Chain A
């Protein structure tokens, strides 16, 4: 089984719909991250969490919210999806040293 699991892997949704992307990990790491990848822009940080009670905005948090339900689970929500949120989304974990990040397989989201 993968250390970091993202669901769904692919999703097509309509403008204005609410959608949740889920991430779970078996690494026992405190830190979890959500990134968005757009062509030519690399991975940009949306939100990150250093433990269950510590959630922080990244560089592009507008239009997104997150929930850290447990150490192992970190969900990303789009309250009202819009087409420019079409992207590849990655969840990642790391330990407190930040010495290595483990990534999920990615969720390809299309908003039509």
Chain B
């Protein structure tokens, strides 16, 4: 069975602080994709990143960075020098690659509030 856990329901930090959003996943498959999506107050889902299970390289994109560790089944997301515009709900998701039974499973989301 596949499962994604985002234990942090809500996080609130002051602007310019760094913040890390945790994501832990479960799957018995060896080939899979992990994703992060952002949902701003307007409601749409914005794709942020995809990582496949064979690529454990960390990635940095501007103020955003992602730490993928298969040993701990985690795919954590860090925002450096947070800004008010980063306030949103963030979802981690898992998809098993190529499986006829695969579907995309989401975590429950972390609501991030950045205070000015």
- A interface, CB within 8 angstroms of B: 33, 35, 40-45, 48, 50, 56, 58, 88, 90, 92, 94, 96-101, 103, 105-106, 108
In whole angstroms, how far apart are the Cα atoms of A94 and B108 in the complex?
A: 21
Chain B interface (Cβ within 8 Å of chain A)? Answer: 6, 9, 33, 35, 43-45, 47, 50, 52, 91, 93, 95-100, 102-109
**Per a CB cutoff under 8 Å, which of A44, A88, A98, A105 touches B95?**
A98
A88-B43, A99-B52, A106-B44 known; A42-B98 Cβ under 8 A? no
CB neighbours of B107 from chain A (8 A): 42
Q: Which of A35, A40, A50, A108 contacts B100 (CB 8 A)?
A: A50
Inter-chain contacts of B9 with A (CB < 8 A)? 40
User: B residues within 8 A CB of A92?
Assistant: 104
Q: List 5 A-B contacts (CB under 8 A).
A: A33-B104, A58-B103, A98-B96, A99-B95, A99-B97
- Chain B residue numbers with a CB within 8 Å of A50 are 100
